[in-house]
A and B are shown apart, each in its own frame.
Chain A
Amino acid sequence: MENRPHPSDKTAPQHLTLFLDESILHDLGDYSLSPLELAPMENAQFALLKKKDRLWMSTPDGENCDFPYYLKNIFRLLEDFKSYGNGRGESHEIFDHYTKTSQQLEKKIFSSGAHEPGKSNKDLWDEIIKKINAVSNESVSLGGMLEKLLDVPFLQNFQSSLVVLHLKGQTKAAVIGTLWRSEKVNSLIEVRDFNVLFNSIKKAKIKSFHTENFPKINIPFNGSFLANDVISKKYSLIAIASRHDFLDYSDDEIDLFQTCIDLLQPHFERLIDQEFSDKRISELRLCLKDFPLPLRVRDSVSGTSFMNDLYRSELQEQDIFFNKKIQGPFSLDLYDSDELRHYAFDLFHFQRISLLGELLNTLRHELSNPLFGLKLSSQIYTTLDVNQDSIDIMIEIEKNVNRCQVIIENFSNLYQVENESKPIAIRKLIDEAIVLSKSESREVKKTIDYTSDTENLSLTVPLIFVVQIIFNLIVNASQAMKGIRGSIISFKVSRKENELRIEISDNGPGIHQDKKSQLFKPFFTTKTQGTGLGLVLSRNLALKMGGNLEYLDNNGEEGAHFRLTLPIL
């Protein structure tokens, strides 16, 4: 930009020289000042300064005036300067004109109902600014802000304050705000109607309208109105204010309204973001309600947490770690999707069991005939007149056949589709779990002590549940004791009133003090290949049967010590 010294002689420059402060230059943006020229303050014919909310205009001679600062004003002033263009005398005319009109302007606006006796125009303007700031800062919703806007001095005789909001990508636009100063409005209009309205308002030079101009659009009142368009990345909106009468609005009211909307723009942005995110959260809640996995979601902005029904019924007692963050206009903590897969395992566990049950049933039938053939023939050959070595082999074959039959029988029992409860001897329960876990606990000795009142007791429980719990505990203990000499798992079966207690302890390394509290938490594991679900599922199964699974302090002794309690009906 070129600064030219201020000529003091009569051969004045063709065009006015101006000084504009940084703040004004910033507000002007791309606006072309040509043919006006900028100059340092002391050399300029006019200096324009933005002080707080007022525009100050001064001349080197020391004359000055001020009026409310709003963008429209400064543009109009600059346009006037451009058209005058030369001569000191003429520029004085401009100055006089502005001094006069700015005073008239304020007087006119503020006398239109909002003026309080004894207050100067400047005070009133300050009050408007203050009020708008208060309105916008206090408001927590768009509707609330629009209602409060009607308390702003120059809008105090207005009846309605509305916005028509169109979020990008939506098929409808929302009409939000207040009618007749108290009636809440919240309705929808078609997006094509919104576009008609928006474009008409945007193109209009004078932003004063009449509902008659838009006969096809459902504007919820009749009469003239002020309107301004606001556009942002996420939405476009029309701000509307009306006295609900048929009189046109003055230029000054138009300007003031524009200024208000300018001032409110960042708050529109904030409140719309907020409401948009609230809406998204409520939609998300609807989706998650029926999500087929236990799930808890936490909104880290408001701190509220949401859990779906599955979570509520199955996992509420547990503490879940959130380690997946989704950032957006609102932020959510979710489970890691890997962990969700573990939950899927939990949920589809029984589906898989029933499939496995069917397969095992088929397998049992298919294997039973050839095994029976083997058994019969080996039995026959032991009674034939052959040498002792062959007989021993035949006996061994028969034993192995028997073992195969037991194993497959146990497996198909374990994975029976129905979980129905039948009376089962406790001995059988524990023996079956031991047989099933044989490959994992081969080197571990097992001792089982029954009290006299439990020795021959039968329980009416789902076999599969109990066997699975004991199986899990044996496998855990065996894995913990891998490589330890003389490892033992001891079972103690006792009865306390209507409760059967199966205590399972080992002489392995035990569970470290600070890990005890996490034992029954999902995904807690000390194994490299563990899912961290074994004990969780086991406890859930115990609870389902009306029992429990607890970890007992080992009284300072080594090893881990669990107690499974089951109801005796």
Chain B
Amino acid sequence: MKKIFIIEDEVLIQQSLKKLFERRGFSVDVSASGKTAIDMIMTNDYDRIICDLMLQDISGFDVIEESKKKYSPSDISEKFVIMTAYNSPQVLSRANAYQCRLLNKPFDNIEEALSLMTES
């Protein structure tokens, strides 16, 4: 696994995660905007896409929906990690529908969170 894409509009979180992954030897792309992120997903091949749900322009779920054009459902469940501070029942059931990983913010334990995001 080489390439990680972080979609997160909170710059401090985005940059911190970028640094943490880079230190672990990953190459990291970032985007604060959902629309830009979709373009980047279409043009690049990422091994993992870490996506915040509450973005400024569109939601993380919109990004995943657009990605369906490129990826199969099994690709999506493998590649995407959803990050959210709002783990309401609706969010949970939708995330489960994609069968992808879900991570609550703030992370209780950063190391565990990083492992969950990077393991295959």
Residues of A at under 8 Å CB distance from B?
Answer: 365, 368-377, 379-380, 405
User: A residues within 8 A CB of B65?
Assistant: none
Contact of B105 among A369, A377, A379, A380 (CB under 8 A): A369
Contact of A376 among B17, B85, B86 (CB under 8 A): B17
Judging by beta carbons under 8 Å apart, are A405 and B10 in contact? no
The distance from the CB of B109 to the nearest CB of chain A, in whole angstroms, is: 11
Judging by beta carbons under 8 Å apart, are B20 and A373 in contact? no
Judging by beta carbons under 8 Å apart, are A380 and B13 in contact? no
- 14 pairs of residues in contact across A and B, judged by CB atoms under 8 Å: A368-B106, A369-B10, A370-B10, A372-B85, A372-B105, A373-B10, A373-B12, A376-B12, A376-B13, A376-B110, A377-B13, A377-B16, A380-B16, A405-B106
Given A369-B13, A372-B105, A373-B12, the answer on whether A380 and B86 have CB atoms closer than 8 Å is no
B15 at interface by CB-CB < 8 Å: yes
Residues of B at under 8 Å CB distance from A?
Answer: 10-13, 15-17, 19-20, 85-86, 105-107, 110
Across the A-B interface, how many residue pairs have beta carbons closer than 8 Å? Answer: 42
* Nearest-neighbor residue (CB-CB) of A366 within chain B: B85
The distance from the CB of B58 to the nearest CB of chain A, in whole angstroms, is: 17
User: A residues within 8 A CB of B107?
Assistant: 372, 376
Judging by beta carbons under 8 Å apart, are A371 and B16 in contact? no
The distance from the CB of A135 to the nearest CB of chain B, in whole angstroms, is: 80
User: A residues within 8 A CB of B12?
Assistant: 370, 373-374, 376-377
Judging by beta carbons under 8 Å apart, are A365 and B86 in contact? yes
Contact of B110 among A369, A379, A405 (CB under 8 A): A379
User: A residues within 8 A CB of B105?
Assistant: 368-369, 372
In the complex, A374→B16 CA distance in Å? Answer: 9
In the complex, A371→B86 CA distance in Å? Answer: 15
The distance from the CB of B21 to the nearest CB of chain A, in whole angstroms, is: 11
Contact of B20 among A368, A374, A375, A380 (CB under 8 A): A380
* Nearest-neighbor residue (CB-CB) of A401 within chain B: B106
Judging by beta carbons under 8 Å apart, are A371 and B106 in contact? yes
User: B residues within 8 A CB of A377?
Assistant: 12-13, 15-16
The distance from the CB of B96 to the nearest CB of chain A, in whole angstroms, is: 21
User: B residues within 8 A CB of A405?
Assistant: 106
* Nearest-neighbor residue (CB-CB) of B20 within chain A: A380
Judging by beta carbons under 8 Å apart, are A372 and B86 in contact? no
Judging by beta carbons under 8 Å apart, are B110 and A373 in contact? no
